[in-house]
Amino acid sequence: MSAIASHLQAVNSAIADACKLAGRTDRPALLAVSKTQSASALREAYAAGQIRFGENYVQEAINKQAELGDLAIEWHFIGPIQSNKTQLIAQHFDWVHSVDRLKIAQRLSSARGATSLPLNICIQVNVSLEASKSGVTSSETLALAETVASLPGLRLRGLMAIPAPTDDVREQRAQFHAVRTLFDQLQATHPELDTLSIGMSQDYPAAIAEGATIVRIGTAIFGARRPHATSTPPSAPAQSMSASESPHLNLAEEQSPT
């Protein structure tokens, strides 16, 4: 078994354990955060059963897609969105987790067009009100969701959040619970919504306990983060780590930097 396959097995086992502790019979989807990783690393993860990959950098992702066009990958954009990148994002991704303003949603809608499958959208909520993070406030979420849900070419799926980092499980759960409460309010008028993209390596058990349907994990699968470049660097194997290390790691690469 390859290192990446072993890491995936450990991560999926840890997710299953967290679901059991939370009393859940279902389980969230695993989104592999693959930014700065080589196309060959993604191919290796795909061979081990991983089909969902999250990218932060548009051109880097497009380069990987060109190399991996023979694979049925589900591509998720999870980084901050620049207005001048909306057309490329709409054309090259299946999901966008980080819509945080109407202008971006409108541009994605226009670029997606009526001839393509709808672009799956999550609204990013800045639940901890951190100035360094993208996202709408809780009070702005419902109004933006109503508008996004009406835009052609888009399919509103739910909410995404990156709470303030903390080792306090009660605080983790409190922040995720706030997002879940917003989600429940949205579902009251939009019962078709089905996605809570919350939880990363340091806090996924708390996110799972609060109803996460997608968790975003990167280093535990691929090893150390590679330097970012606008073009995909030469393929290289991911650094190895033991299974015991895999569920607990540095989350810098999953925090959606600019």
Position 250 pLDDT exceeds 70: no
Prediction pTM value: 0.87
Give residue-wise pLDDT tens across range 165-215.
999 999 999 999 999 999 999 999 999 999 999 999 889 999 999 999 999
Percent above pLDDT 90 for the chain: 78
Q: What is the DSSP letter of 254?
A: G
- C-alpha separations of 45 from 8, 31, 75, 218, 255 in Å: 8, 11, 14, 11, 21
Give residue-wise pLDDT tens across range 64-111.
999 999 999 999 999 999 999 999 999 999 999 999 999 999 999 999
Query: What number of residues does the chain have?
Result: 258
Please report the pLDDT score of residue 234 as a whole number: 39
- Residues 3-225, CATH architecture: Alpha-Beta Barrel (3.20)
Position 225 pLDDT exceeds 90: no
Position 15 pLDDT exceeds 70: yes
CB 15 within 8 A of CB 28: yes
DSSP secondary structure string for all residues of 192-246: T--EEE---TTTHHHHHHTT-SEEEE-HHHH-SPPPP-SSPPPP-PPPP--TTTT
> Sign of the C-alpha dihedral, residues 257, 77, 31, 136?
positive
Specify the 3-state DSSP secondary structure of 34: coil
Higher pLDDT, 239 or 17: 17
- Residue spans of the domains in the chain: they are 3-225
